[in-house]
Structure 1
Amino acid sequence: MKQKLTLLVLLFTLLVSACSPAQPTETITLKVAILPILDVLPMVVAQQEGLFTKNGVNVEFIPVGSAPERDQLISAGQADGMVNELASVMFLNQDQIQVQAVRFARTATADQALFRILAAKDSGIQTAADLKGVPVGVSQATVIEYLTERLLQAEGLSADEIQTVAIPKIPDRLALLGSGELKAAMLPEPFSTLAAQQGATVVLDDTLRPEYSFSLITFRKAVIDQHPQAVRAFLAAIEEAVALINADPQKYSGLMVDQKMVPAPLAESFKVPTYPLKGVPTQAQFDDTLAWVKEKGYLNKDFAYTDCVNGSLLP
């Protein structure tokens, strides 16, 4: 009798458990380090429009003032994701595979530049040929230095004719170019537009070779491995945000200004750019960047494409 009673209690417990609603899955919070740059506008739009919540993920932004600060947070595990570039992914992975790029953030196109090489107002520099032996201000070991060299090489300059000078901070580069102390500089948008507005001459831009110019959304590999659904949800929200921006860009011009993604003098005139749909760098783009960082002596290591790029989480 006692055994039958125990069995009945067990069956009743199982029946109640089966009929009870499933406990909701815990919503993951992803911490994303963001610089005040145009590349993060889709993230900010996704947050403002409730798209992260809609897709089942919480996102917390951690504002940072520089790329080194961003990278330190990632390495310390205090941030989960960021916008960076392929060379940066490789540098972070040099000792162990810490991060993977999961989506393009921005890309140059044949009619939309991300970066421009500009010459100072009274420098007399008009063409790429005029830049032979002229130091071009760049941030060293970044996409800016990489792109400067690739664009000038594409215009026929040899390695010994291409000179660069390290000026890491964009405001410093802009100021030195404006004063004429620096004859040429590579600047990202919207600062290249501001420099041109102030009298600098656009010599080259990446619309000529857009395959070299892009930024990335990157997450720590530990986060990708442990919470792939959260990263997928994040990217699904980004895809929706990009669609909203591209359909009605000026709707978000105020947000772009409020987030200090454009300098004050351009607040009224600078247009919201077009953002790329889902995608990741190709094997060829990866191989060229790896060849460059090794050629420059910044790294002495080979990576597999899949060490650094993971397109499997795209919606």
Structure 2
Amino acid sequence: MSTNDTLLISPNHPVFDLPEIVAIEHGLFARHGLRVDFARADESAYDPSERDPIARRKEALFESESADVYNLCEWGGIDRLERGHRSGRIDHLRPAVVAQALVSFDPTLNEPHDLGGVPVAVNEFTGSHYTALHLLGNTLARQEIVVRHVGSPHLRLRALRSGDFRAAMLMEPFLSVALKEGAHLLGSYFYRGSQVVAPHLGQEGRDAYIVAVNEAVDLIHELPWHESARHIVREVEGELDPEELGRSYMRYTHARPFAPKRFHESYAWMKSWGLTEGRNDHRSLLGTG
């Protein structure tokens, strides 16, 4: 990629993209010789209940070469590279460390043990799905765990409100909205995500990208929190003010390498659940060979 090219990010939820949002807003990418922006797309063209991960907005933009990079959970990054048709690689673990929380309005559900046989609303093959399996798998027998695909966090919150589901996995800002409305926590699981990048992006550009987002992380910590919170709560406009969004369920650290040990642990876990055929390794998915 030349310095005259614009590197396009396929957008995720702002809670995950916050370092990139701040880096663009404050000119940090430009400071390191990069032109970076978010890919534009008509959101109405994408079904928020879409079951096929590759047909969802951020994946579809990458697959169609309308975007060069995007982030998602580490397990999802592995899945998309194995499932998709466009080649790519996992470059690093993103700065955003976010919790998916198991929440309910049902007073009879109070701990993960109560979820045996109870369907939990998730977005299949995303952080909400994988973390539900991690969270419940530490308590329940696998055959007792029931996760059901509903779709985006907007839809999962709606399913909770309507009573269609007694429990759901939610992240911020939807989590704070649910808690504000009287929902309660049954558990939470913090996780990093991975950054998927297109094959044409060179090492120099990728390194500059990481330096810029790390500087954005430092700036997030220096600025008053409401400066960052305003970006996150825009997904629930009118339901939550920036001042109402706490920092308990998200944090931002410098990007990290996806080390072989961690990769092998995550990949083995996915294989144990039948979430991958296991045909790849650290070298093939991270381009380390």
TM-score above 0.5 = yes
Structure 1 residue 253 and structure 2 residue 224: aligned? no
| Alpha-carbon distance in structure 2 between the residues aligned to 1:88 and 1:223 | 21
Cα deviation, residue 202, structure 1: 0.3
TM norm structure 2: 0.84
In the superposition, relative to structure 1, how do residues 249 and 307 fare at CA in structure 2: closer, same or farther (>3 Å)?
farther
| Alpha-carbon distance in structure 2 between the residues aligned to 1:251 and 1:131 | 35
TM norm structure 1: 0.77
In the superposition, relative to structure 1, how do residues 187 and 106 fare at CA in structure 2: closer, same or farther (>3 Å)?
farther
Q: Match for residue 152 of structure 1?
A: 136
In the superposition, relative to structure 1, how do residues 133 and 255 fare at CA in structure 2: closer, same or farther (>3 Å)?
closer
Contact 2:121 2:156 in 1 (8 A): yes
Cα deviation, residue 203, structure 1: 0.2
Contact 1:178 1:198 in 2 (8 A): no
Contact 1:253 1:271 in 2 (8 A): no
Q: Match for residue 49 of structure 2?
A: none
In the superposition, relative to structure 1, how do residues 35 and 92 fare at CA in structure 2: closer, same or farther (>3 Å)?
closer
Q: 1:90 aligns with which of 53, 74, 78?
A: 78
Give the number of equivalent residue pairs.
273
| Alpha-carbon distance in structure 1 between the residues aligned to 2:258 and 2:159 | 33
**Structure 1 stretches of 5 or more lacking a match?**
1-24
Alignment of 1:231-270 (within 5 A): 231-250=206-225, 252-253=227-228, 255-256=230-231, 260-267=234-241, 268-270=243-245
| Alpha-carbon distance in structure 1 between the residues aligned to 2:257 and 2:224 | 23
Alignment of 1:103-114 (within 5 A): 103-108=92-97, 114=99
Q: Match for residue 100 of structure 2?
A: 115
Alignment of 1:164-313 (within 5 A): 164-206=147-189, 210=190, 213-220=191-198, 222-224=199-201, 227-250=202-225, 252-253=227-228, 255-256=230-231, 260-267=234-241, 268-271=243-246, 273-309=250-286
Cα deviation, residue 93, structure 1: 2.4
Contact 2:109 2:115 in 1 (8 A): yes
| Alpha-carbon distance in structure 1 between the residues aligned to 2:236 and 2:92 | 23
Contact 1:33 1:81 in 2 (8 A): yes
Cα deviation, residue 116, structure 1: 0.3
Report the secondary structure of 2:76's partner residue: helix
Report the secondary structure of 2:182's partner residue: coil
Larger Rg: 1
In the superposition, relative to structure 1, how do residues 133 and 35 fare at CA in structure 2: closer, same or farther (>3 Å)?
same
Cα deviation, residue 140, structure 1: 1.4
**Structure 2 stretches of 5 or more lacking a match?**
47-52
Letter in 1 for 2:157: L
Q: 1:130 aligns with which of 114, 131, 136?
A: 114
**Percent identity (aligned):** 23
Report the secondary structure of 1:114's partner residue: strand
Letter in 1 for 2:193: S
Letter in 1 for 2:284: D
| Alpha-carbon distance in structure 2 between the residues aligned to 1:73 and 1:101 | 17
